[in-house]
């Protein structure tokens, strides 16, 4: 649980002007020496107060015997002492009015119950004194612009430099954080903040994220997550979208082994991975599946302008790379646009005589010694109205690299469209620096450039969709009939009462009654077992369809009872359902409202019956959704074409299906917490105008005393 | 078309001991200067003969006025003169008995017909004199071990060094080749040969590949392809598999825009991309989809030992990275194995007290200062019988990097299982060098390490499958009935004659005859239009199923004729087919033999009817295939579970389906070249033991004068 945090305390932690280090040491290998060493290296301009009663001077700085004897109250105290002493120093911070503290010490919740209790005491102290406490068991943090670096990550030992830039990196893992920091340095990526959250005794990932949304130096928040409170993440994502600061997140723990390791590592619940996917998609969070992707996507999303559409121009000094990029554009749904005649004419004037002037534009290697040609080519394609983004493969150009960079930037500066470059780092760092300063992201693989461009386009689309669909409407509280398993008839009746179209049906408790019901409904009918104890009825032969006469009803009735005796002896039989036989052909869907352990109510739609299982063709959203969003869910199904009436069949009633999805989503969202799932399977979608029929339904509750 | 090449000539080209450069220059920016400059830099130990009548000395080397005046006949002549003069120098080479030549000059086939004619003259000269000619329009080649570097790629200007190693890189694109060479240098990957094939006037990609298969320095062939003769590629792949030298290939031109650009760039036909996938899979060729993958996969496959199975142990100094790797193992079908109790006990003795000792093994950061712990951990998991491969995330370790590398190698050397490492490059190059020398591939992203391990496992499996399935059996020549479109009845009769199970059926040309046929077959029956002019009959209502009586036959017969008049007026009606109605429930497949423009006969199977189209669930193999391979194809379908009898349905007759696939594959392979496709759609697969029924079929030919 998160502690309410004062903004001024967070500011003292993340942008401190004065920093005390208790346990200060001159040894840059020690936790009390390394942060001081790094801050001196990075040129931190604020005050540094080493605190150690056994020293007069540390790394050339005046050392103080105690926190109480400092000449001023520092913004931040780095508590670099053995674990046993951390608590008392934190208390001192509180007494002296120090607003922020950080400790790297381990031995807390990650080691078991005793450590957890110690961690809770740190939390209580922070809460009591209003201290923004980072850690414990973290690797610290860095404010890249100011050089404030209360961290002991070895990444800064490996390379002492950090570039300032618009990306904040916010990691729940220290070691992954350090590794990414190393990658950031190797790739010369610019950061605003580097933050590892550690055990999150007091401050948690969302607290930092909210600060970064207000931070002027930060344009993109890039993060590594193992577990998080779902509502908090959604709230951060919503604020981020409103501020147009993209979130790029890697969330691990998707696999069985990974989730178990994650639980062991952090004690946090993993939640269903496909629900993370759904929430990310709904809330315009970009998901990275590797560390390379995390940085590539962050880099692309930190461009000052994002693409307005998916029209791509490819300019390449290598014909082969042009083909490769075009292949990936198609795979990722980007359009390699046909250039206007005027553009092609301009290109023909510029390029070698045998060049086609078509998109993808193969310039041949000539621009690598004729930079003007590169400029003219880039300017021509950027001016084309169909083009939203320019992907340029430079390759490598050790000779005239500076001039190439200048011409590249000149073309980009004259356009209001984003440019991305693929260019291996040259030995001379200046050319790449020139591009970076102009906000042009650089990649070392043409495919990675193309994927990053696709992600930037999708981010803009996701924001657009989120605005279009709006915030979910409030839902009325509802309550399904009682019972841990509400079987078909009751479940369907309740759904019909709540606006879902079902089938005519009645419960029979004798064969004669079944014949009566069938006559009232009209032949043919279906007969189905009603029993909470049997969930997959067709597996045991307890469903009979196309029952055409009174005589057949009698036979089917007996057959079903016999099937129960054979395959589910002892099952509680509530009756036999006699049901209208929906003869019209239609598409079967599964529509399910369910409750995720992390994000709460969700709604799922899939191409129904056996296919949903076999092809795993389902789409999920956090619930509730409106009808427009439900329609978008149907469009996202791989089998969406089945609803559009393939091969001479009639199109299905997509509107009615979407209305049902929206309705089910509102029902799960309005149900009490113990309702685990509201499932219609199948929902038969009839021809356009003919609506839908819920043919079967089930509501399940979590038995008291258990958790999801 | 490839020219027959003598091995000694190829050896003179790729491992020359003496090299003449005509057009020699002292300017390292010029085509006649750069190769000499590079070879001096790389320490080439053979003889270098600059040839230029206007110079006495070039770059400190004695310069000769003409090829004829050289003191000895060189192995290789680099023709670095303007395009107009290349031909006469090549002729001189032939007259002087020089076995190999290379030219970088452009202006040949890539510029149009005139250039193509000039290129053909080069080819004829090479053929006439038995010269191994590389290029034109290439960037040259490098023998890394000897330093022979007839190349003008700027990659060597950017970084003058190359590491020797077991990977040969063989590129059809010069610029992509140079880019990859730059990546290879940045990643400190070891190469045996770097070869760009250019326009392939004489020597083509397969010629070089065959040489490399014999080359002792080469263990993996890594390549970039735009277009290739299908039979040649299969022949190289077969030889490569027998030599256990993995091929890792990037093949571009999959997209519409990419294929068009590829055709413009190389004049080569792209072929269907999914057929490349099928051929690669069949012949154990590893496919890379990005340049990163190309190098990652090559690096993994160059390990001295490949994994014997898919059991993975994960050892990580970062809990977060351990989870990430475990997630990807699951995604890629690798098993994060449960360790034996003994292993867990050994790990508990070694690791911090709170560690679980389970797989994935989170060592905490301690091994980064306690290298012995790393060694003990690696040794313990490698000794576990369930483990086939060890994935170790070191992360970064600037301090004790050398000791960590030593302990890592010590553990790996004591084991017969492969180890892969994820470790960011340290500033000190030695630790990584130590791992590389021990054959341990290093990656800079845990996900890339995991994907590369999966590829190594799949390569071993693919070789095993290829051996199991063996070479395809020879097929008998067959000839389908004449006509460009052989419609259902004739096609099916032909298939039945050739061993495929069909349905009872007869052609009627009057309603009365239809009633007679129906009576003979037994009710109910199907009626279907027979017309070569109408391919999708059900779209226009020209198929009637479940026709139950003579009266219904009369109605259906008239309905079909009326449907043709309305929707396909003027279509040639050959009759109405009266067909046995197969009432049993079954799974519909599509089985199609077809001819690919690059690889020739192929066979495809898909989950039938509408679903194959909507879900794109199809599997392809080069034809013919045996029954065992056909069964493997069925297993690869995403919808394979439908055949296994999901949810209480009966399992389908997979054996009969596989037999039919094998049969169709033999028929397309045995058919004349103009037969484009032999398609059964649907093939109804009945319950186990009940066989299959070809319900509809079609054979198509390419009309004379057209090409596929």
pLDDT digit string, tens, across residues A224-235? 999 899 999 999
Among A307, A171, A178, smallest CA distance to A250 is for A171
**B contact residues 40-99, partner A, Cβ 8 Å cutoff:** none
Residues of A in contact with B174 (CB under 8 A): 318
Mean pLDDT of A260-274: 63
Model pTM score: 0.91
pLDDT at B272: 83
Whether residue B179 and residue A112 make contact (CB cut-off 8 A), yes or no, is: no
pLDDT at B524: 87
Among A225, A157, A156, A158, smallest CA distance to A191 is for A156
Question: DSSP character for A48?
Answer: E
Token pair listed for B40: 């001096």
* Whole-number Å distance between alpha carbons of A214 and A299: 20
Q: Identify which of A293-307, A520-534, B578-592, B683-697 has the greatest average pLDDT.
A: A293-307
Contacts across the A-B interface (CB distance below 8 Å):
280
**B contact residues 219-248, partner A, Cβ 8 Å cutoff:** 224, 226
Find the angle CA(B135)-CA(B138)-CA(B143) to the nearest 5 degrees: 90
3-state secondary structure of B696: coil
How many angstroms separate the Cα of A550 from the Cα of each of A514, A524, A557, B139, B210? 9, 10, 11, 85, 78
**Mind telling me how many Å the CA of A476 is from chain B's nearest CA?**
37
pLDDT at A265: 54
Residue B2 has pLDDT above 50, yes or no: no
The end-to-end CA distance of chain A, in Å, is 19
Please count the CA atoms within 13 angstroms of the CA of A472 that sit on its side-chain side.
Answer: 23
Q: pLDDT per residue over B435-492, tens digit each?
A: 999 999 999 999 999 999 999 999 999 999 999 998 878 889 999 999 998 877 889 9
Residues of B in contact with A176 (CB under 8 A): 318, 320-321, 324
Residue B267 has pLDDT above 60, yes or no: no
pLDDT at A2: 47
CB-based contact, B332 to chain A, within 8 Å:
no
3-state secondary structure of B88: helix
Residue B266 has pLDDT above 90, yes or no: no
Residues of B in contact with A155 (CB under 8 A): 396
pLDDT at B584: 63
Give me the residue from B171, B327, B642 closest to A610, CB to CB. Answer: B642
CB-based contact, A446 to chain B, within 8 Å:
yes
pLDDT at A708: 45
Q: Give the list of residues 6+ apart from residue B527 with CB closer than 8 angstroms, or none.
A: B514, B543, B544, B547, B553, B556, B557, B560, B576, B577, B578, B579
A284 in Cβ contact with A241 (< 8 Å): yes
**Mind telling me how many Å the CA of A647 is from chain B's nearest CA?**
6
Residue A414 has pLDDT above 50, yes or no: yes
Q: Write down the mean pLDDT value for chain A.
A: 92
Task: Region of A703 please: left (phi>0), alpha (psi -120 to 50) or beta.
Answer: beta
pLDDT at B262: 63
Residue with tokens 């008392």: A88
Q: pLDDT per residue over B523-569, tens digit each?
A: 889 999 988 788 778 778 888 888 888 998 999 999 999 989 988 88
**Mind telling me how many Å the CA of B297 is from chain A's nearest CA?**
15
Which DSSP string do the residues of A273-336 spell out, in sequence order? HHHHHHHHHHTTEEE-SSHHHHHHHHHHHTSSS--SSSEEEEEES-HHHHHHHHHHHHHTT-EE
Residue B3 has pLDDT above 70, yes or no: no
pLDDT at A262: 64
CB-based contact, A613 to chain B, within 8 Å:
yes
Residue A267 has pLDDT above 70, yes or no: no
pLDDT at B298: 98
pLDDT at B341: 96
Backbone angles phi, psi at A168, to 5 degrees: -100, 135
CB-based contact, B289 to chain A, within 8 Å:
yes
Residues of A in contact with B647 (CB under 8 A): 536, 538-539, 610, 613
Residue B18 has pLDDT above 70, yes or no: yes
**Buried/exposed A386-400: b ≥16 CB within 10 Å, e otherwise:** bbbbbbbbbbbbbeb
Residue B4 has pLDDT above 80, yes or no: no
CB-based contact, B400 to chain A, within 8 Å:
no
Q: What angle separates helix A371-383 from helix A401-413, to the nearest 10 degrees?
A: 20
Residue A1 has pLDDT above 50, yes or no: no
Range of lowest pLDDT (A314-328, A539-553, B340-354):
A539-553
CB-based contact, B111 to chain A, within 8 Å:
yes
Mean pLDDT of B152-168: 94
Residue B129 has pLDDT above 60, yes or no: yes
Confidence of residue B649 (pLDDT cuts 50, 70, 90): confident
pLDDT at A580: 87
Q: pLDDT per residue over A554-577, tens digit each?
A: 999 999 999 899 888 888 898 999
Q: pLDDT per residue over B286-337, tens digit each?
A: 999 999 999 999 999 999 999 999 999 999 999 999 999 999 999 999 999 9
pLDDT at A706: 63
* Whole-number Å distance between alpha carbons of B133 and B127: 9
A608 in Cβ contact with A589 (< 8 Å): yes
Q: Write down the mean pLDDT value for chain B.
A: 92
How many angstroms separate the Cα of A329 from the Cα of each of A335, A378, A395, B255, B371? 7, 18, 18, 8, 46
**Mind telling me how many Å the CA of A330 is from chain B's nearest CA?**
6
Residues of B in contact with A319 (CB under 8 A): 173, 175, 261, 265-266
**B contact residues 641-660, partner A, Cβ 8 Å cutoff:** 641-642, 646-648
Q: pLDDT per residue over A20-32, tens digit each?
A: 999 999 998 898 9
Q: Where are any strands of DSSP class E within B337-457?
A: 361-362, 389-395, 419-423, 442-443
**Mind telling me how many Å the CA of A176 is from chain B's nearest CA?**
6
């Amino acid at each position: 649980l998160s502690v309410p945090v004062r903004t001024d305390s967070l500011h003292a932690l993340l942008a401190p002007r004065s920093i005390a280090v208790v346990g200060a040491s001159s040894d840059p290998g020690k936790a009390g020496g390394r942060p001081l060493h790094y801050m001196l290296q990075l040129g931190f301009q604020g005050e540094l107060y080493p605190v150690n009663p056994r020293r007069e001077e540390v790394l050339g700085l005046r050392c103080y015997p105690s926190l109480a004897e400092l000449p001023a109250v520092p913004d931040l105290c780095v508590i670099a002492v053995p674990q046993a002493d951390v608590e008392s120093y934190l208390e001192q911070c509180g007494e002296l009015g120090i607003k922020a503290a950080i400790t790297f010490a381990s031995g807390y919740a990650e080691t078991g119950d005793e450590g957890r209790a110690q961690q809770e005491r740190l939390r209580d102290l922070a809460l009591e004194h209003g201290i923004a406490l980072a850690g414990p068991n973290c690797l610290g943090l860095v404010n890249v612009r100011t050089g404030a670096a209360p961290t002991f990550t070895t990444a800064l030992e490996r390379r002492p430099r950090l570039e300032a830039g618009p990306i904040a990196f916010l990691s729940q893992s220290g070691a992954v954080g350090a590794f990414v920091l190393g990658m950031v340095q190797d790739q010369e990526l610019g950061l605003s903040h580097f933050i590892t959250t550690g055990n999150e005794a007091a401050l948690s990932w969302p607290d930092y994220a909210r600060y970064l949304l207000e931070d002027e130096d930060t344009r993109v928040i890039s993060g590594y997550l193992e577990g998080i409170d779902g509502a908090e993440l959604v709230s951060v994502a919503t604020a981020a979208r409103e501020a147009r600061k993209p979130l790029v997140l890697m969330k691990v723990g998707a696999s069985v082994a990974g989730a178990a390791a994650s639980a062991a590592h952090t004690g946090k619940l993993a939640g269903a991975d496909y629900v993370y996917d759904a929430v990310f998609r709904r809330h315009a969070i970009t998901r990275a599946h590797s560390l390379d992707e995390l940085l590539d996507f962050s880099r692309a999303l930190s461009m000052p302008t994002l693409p307005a559409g998916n029209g791509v121009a490819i300019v390449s000094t290598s014909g082969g790379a042009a083909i490769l990029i075009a292949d990936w554009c198609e795979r990722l749904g980007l359009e390699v646009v046909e250039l206007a005649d005027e553009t092609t004419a301009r290109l023909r004037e510029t390029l070698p005589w045998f060049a086609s002037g078509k998109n993808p534009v193969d310039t041949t290697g000539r621009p690598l010694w004729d930079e003007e040609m590169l400029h003219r080519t880039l300017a021509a394609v950027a001016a084309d109205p169909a083009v939203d983004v320019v992907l340029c493969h430079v390759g490598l150009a050790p000779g005239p690299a500076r001039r190439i960079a200048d011409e590249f930037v000149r073309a980009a500066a004259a356009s209001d469209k984003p440019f991305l470059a693929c260019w291996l780092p040259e030995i001379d760092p200046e050319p790449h620096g020139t591009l970076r300063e102009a906000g042009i992201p650089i990649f070392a693989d043409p495919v990675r450039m193309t994927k990053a461009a696709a992600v930037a386009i999708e981010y803009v689309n996701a924001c657009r969709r989120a605005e279009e669909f709006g915030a979910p409407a409030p839902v009325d509280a509802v309550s399904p009939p009682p019972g841990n398993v509400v079987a078909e008839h009751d479940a369907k009746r309740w759904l019909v009462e709540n606006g879902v179209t079902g089938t005519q049906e009645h419960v029979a408790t004798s064969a004669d009654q079944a014949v009566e019901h069938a006559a009232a409904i009209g032949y043919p009918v279906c007969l189905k077992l009603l029993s909470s104890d049997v969930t997959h009825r067709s597996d045991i032969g307890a469903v009979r369809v196309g029952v055409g006469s009174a005589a057949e009803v009698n036979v089917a009735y007996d057959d079903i009872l016999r099937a129960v005796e054979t395959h589910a002896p002892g099952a509680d039989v509530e009756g036999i359902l006699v049901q209208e036989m929906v003869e019209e052909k239609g598409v079967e869907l599964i529509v399910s409202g369910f409750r995720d352990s992390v994000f709460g109510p969700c709604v799922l739609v899939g191409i129904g019956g056996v296919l949903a299982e076999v092809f795993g063709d389902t789409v999920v959203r956090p619930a509730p959704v409106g009808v427009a969003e439900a329609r978008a869910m149907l469009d996202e199904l791989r089998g969406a074409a089945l609803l559009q009436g393939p091969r001479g069949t009639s199109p299905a009633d997509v509107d009615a299906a979407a209305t049902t999805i929206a309705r089910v989503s509102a029902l799960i969202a309005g149900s009490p917490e113990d309702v685990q799932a509201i499932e219609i399977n199948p929902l038969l979608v009839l021809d356009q105008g003919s609506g839908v029929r819920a043919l079967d339904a089930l509501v399940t509750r979590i038995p008291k005393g258990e958790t999801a």
